[in-house]
Amino acid sequence: MSNKPGKNERRFAEDVARLLTPWGVPPVAARLYGHLLLRPRPVSLDEITEELGISKSSASVAARLLESYTLARRHSEPGTKRALYAVADDYEAMIQQQNRLLDALAEQFSAGTRIVASRDVNARLEEMADFYRVMRGAMEDAMRRWKRGRRPR
């Protein structure tokens, strides 16, 4: 019996992929993320290859990329070296990673103001740095509000 996802599950994974690819997530990784969201337990690369109809190397690259984005987690299977993958549920780690990027962008734009003589360019860079600082604060505030309203599992 095949483990291939049904029509609605495939459509869900494709819709997730359509939403994530404009953000720079490669299509196979975006589709895998949509697929993992619907899986009740971690799945192996063999299962991913069969269920999504992709090569094992594509599945491995996509899974590792999702892991680097903190969207997926690797699990081990007792007694084997086989890796299993599941969607990550550590939203705080995801936000912390985004906040590090926002901090780096704000710092880089501020650094740009120290090397450019143009007032217009300096104003643009400082405005961009301020924007990213405000966004970082908003992300932290949103995470605090989310954690306060979250029910224990």
144 burial level (CB within 10 Å; 0-12, 13-18, 19+): exposed
Listed in sequence order, the residues at least 6 apart from 90 whose beta carbon sits closer than 8 Å to its beta carbon are 70, 73
* CATH for 7-87 (3.30.70.1170, 1.10.10.10, 3.40.630.30, 2.40.50.110): 1.10.10.10
Q: How far apart are CA 33 and CA 47, in angstroms?
A: 14
pTM of the complete model: 0.78
Listed in sequence order, the residues at least 6 apart from 9 whose beta carbon sits closer than 8 Å to its beta carbon are 35, 38
Which of 43, 47, 48, 50 has the alpha carbon at shortest distance from 75? 43
- Tens of pLDDT, residues 82-126: 899 999 988 888 888 889 999 999 999 999 999 999 999 999 999
- Where are the chain's structural domains? 7-87, 91-149
- Tens of pLDDT, residues 4-29: 778 999 999 999 999 999 989 999 99
Beta strands 72-76 and 43-44 are unpaired
Specify the DSSP element, H or E, that contains 73: strand 72-76
- With beta carbons less than 8 A apart as the criterion, state whether 73 and 67 touch: yes
* 105-143 burial code (b ≥16 CB/10 A, e <16): bbeebbebbeeeeeeeebeebeebbeebbeebeebeeeb
Give the pLDDT score at 3: 62
